[in-house]
Amino acid sequence: MNRKIVILGTGGTIAGTAASASDHTGYTAAQVGISQLVEAVPGLAEGSCDLVTEQVAQIDSKDMSFAVWARLAARVSHFLAQPDVQGIVVTHGTDTLEETAWLLHALLHPGKPVVLTCAMRPATALAPDGPQNLLDAVAVAAHPGARGVLAVCAGVIHGAPDVQKVHTYRLDAFSSGDAGPVGYVEEGRLRLVRNWPEAPVHRASAAIKKVVEQQDGSGWPRVEIVMNYAGAGAGGVQALVAGGVQGLVVAATGNGTLHHELEAALLEAQAAGVRVIRATRCLEGRVLPRHGDAIADSQGLSPVKARVELMLQLMAGPG
């Protein structure tokens, strides 16, 4: 039985086209199909695994929706369960890649590699970065023992818990912050510097079922992000609570600090039954919890990942 690598396309700049080869910003994302992207990479089909492609979506990832997430989670889950599938690669836009990475990691905690990859330049660029990223992602997916959800960009392997887009233009647009990357892909070979990422094990399978079954994206809890900043007040939170929000993540300043007016509104929301989580808007570090904290911290997750996590927790329900 030949091992398979499944490559799922969702769009992004990696599948983008521009009118001019020198245009790296005025392009349209999500234009080229996944089979065409794969065919365009010399040597990709020559590895030890058979390649299978499937177009799951074709979107600019700024427009990521619950429906696409549900479809993607269902397809990843389906292929992970096939004994002959060694690993999965997902082509994705860079803009919300870290959110999808956390969703798949926390939801599916895969024992096989699920490797998200992307590009900062469109497929029509003079020197596109997508083909090398795709080749590297397949090398990671084919690596014996690889597991968990990973992101591969510019030769760097990041784990889903730590990966974050940190640059608007540079090809090496992602960082794992002070945790550091999982490793590097060099000439098709992996140099690992950390363990494969571990996923939280508390996830109730009911959450998986709900997400995967609701293919229209309905039924996801409403969780929003608010931010602390100079002069932050109570109005935004009060409007969200009045609008029926079920969860709030606050991107706090520094080590979780909040303007006293915003904090009072969040505590009021919490007392009214809204789940509230405190993350930090700092790019590196995490909110260090203290005994008796009135608002729980995000356990190191960035605000956008903490939001995904809170949605999953609300879907899973108590216990």
Catalytic residues: 13
* Residue 313 in the binding site for ligand SIN (CB under 6 A): no
* Residue 164 in the binding site for ligand SIN (CB under 6 A): no
Q: How far apart are CA 180 and CA 135, in angstroms?
A: 22
> Shortest Cβ contact with ligand SIN: which residue?
93
Please check whether residue 259 is in contact with residue 232, taking contact to mean a CB–CB distance below 8 angstroms: yes
Please check whether residue 89 is in contact with residue 112, taking contact to mean a CB–CB distance below 8 angstroms: no
* Residue 117 in the binding site for ligand SIN (CB under 6 A): no
Q: How far apart are CA 120 and CA 260, in angstroms?
A: 40
Binds ligand SIN (CB under 6 A): choice among 24, 38, 61, 295: 61
Q: Which residue has the tokens 């999500």?
A: 30
Select the span of 60-68, 71-79, 244-252, 299-307 touching ligand SIN (CB under 6 A): 60-68
Number of other CB atoms surrounding residue 261 within 10 Å: 14
Closest CA to 161 of 179, 184, 143, 141: 179
Please check whether residue 65 is in contact with residue 57, taking contact to mean a CB–CB distance below 8 angstroms: no
Select the span of 5-13, 74-82, 223-231, 255-263 touching ligand SIN (CB under 6 A): 5-13
* Residue 62 in the binding site for ligand SIN (CB under 6 A): yes
Q: How far apart are CA 199 and CA 148, in angstroms?
A: 7
Q: Which helix (H) or strand (E) segment is 267 a member of? A: helix 260-271
Nearer to ligand SIN, 7 or 146 (CB): 7
Residues 6+ apart with CB under 8 A from 85: 3, 4, 5, 6, 79, 112
Per-residue string for binding with ligand SIN, 124-153, x by CB under 6 A? Answer: ------------------------------
Phi/psi for 154 (5° steps) reads 55, 40
Binds ligand SIN (CB under 6 A): choice among 5, 7, 13, 211: 13
Select the span of 6-14, 83-91, 145-153, 302-310 touching ligand SIN (CB under 6 A): 6-14
Select the span of 55-63, 192-200, 269-277, 288-296 touching ligand SIN (CB under 6 A): 55-63
CA distances from 240 to 187, 222, 273 (A): 50, 10, 13
Q: How far apart are CA 239 and CA 21, in angstroms?
A: 46
In whole angstroms, the minimum distance from the beta carbon of 106 to ligand SIN comes to 21
* Residue 9 in the binding site for ligand SIN (CB under 6 A): no
Binds ligand SIN (CB under 6 A): choice among 7, 8, 9, 12: 12
Binds ligand SIN (CB under 6 A): choice among 6, 8, 18, 29: 29
Residue 297: what residue type?
D
* Residue 118 in the binding site for ligand SIN (CB under 6 A): yes
* Residue 100 in the binding site for ligand SIN (CB under 6 A): no
* Residue 23 in the binding site for ligand SIN (CB under 6 A): no
Counting residues that bind ligand SIN (by CB under 6 A) gives 12
Binding site for ligand SIN (CB under 6 A): 11-13, 29, 60-62, 93-95, 118, 120
